Amino acid sequence: QLQLQESGSGLVKPSQTLSLTCAVSGGSISSGGYSWSWIRQPPGKGLEWIGYIYHSGSTSYNPSLKSRVTISVDRSKNQFSLNLRSVTAADTAVYYCARRDIYSNYLDYWGQGTLVTVSS
């Protein structure tokens, strides 16, 4: 059974960089047919795509966040990461990692989510 687990700092100061890692177990991040995604959910609000990375390393980002986001993959550790620069309080959210089917674009396996608070 595939499992995803987010980790990283739960508190980030304004203007700094939010960094999270998603460890994948029970399957290979290099498997064809999938991309690896980040989604976030501000407290009490809905879901928002951040972006995703294919096993090849190519990426796609939400246009509204593109200038601040980098998603990378470490195949040797079977994990992928999110960096979000110049954060503000509006970036406070639960951040989820998930596996995305590249043909039908659905998210079938999710991490449990991690709350990141942006505050001084």
Partner 1 sequence: QSALTQPASVSGSPGQSITISCTGTSSDVGSYNLVSWYQQHPGKAPKLMIYDVIKRPSGVSNRFSGSKSGNTASLTISGLQAEDEADYYCCSYAGSNTLEVFGGGTKVTVL
Binding residues vs partner 1 (CB under 8 A): 46-49, 51, 60-64, 96, 101, 104-108, 110-113
CB of 16 to partner 1, least distance (A): 25
Report whether 102 contacts 55 (CB < 8 A): no
Beta carbon of residue 2, minimum distance to partner 1 (angstroms, whole number): 13
3-state SS track over 64-120: CCHHHEEEEEECCCCEEEEEECCCCHHHCEEEEEEEEECCCCCEEEECCCEEEEECC
Q: Which is nearer to partner 1, 90 or 120 (CB)?
A: 90
CB of 74 or CB of 101, closer to partner 1: 101
Q: Decide whether 47 or 89 has the Cβ nearer to partner 1.
A: 47
- Quote the least distance from Cβ 22 to partner 1, whole Å: 12
Q: Which residues contact 20 (CB under 8 A, 6 or more apart)?
A: 6, 7, 8, 9, 38, 81, 82, 95, 97, 114, 116
* Minimum distance, C-beta of residue 120 to partner 1, in the bound complex (Å): 27
- Residue placing its CB nearer to partner 1 in the complex, 106 or 119: 106
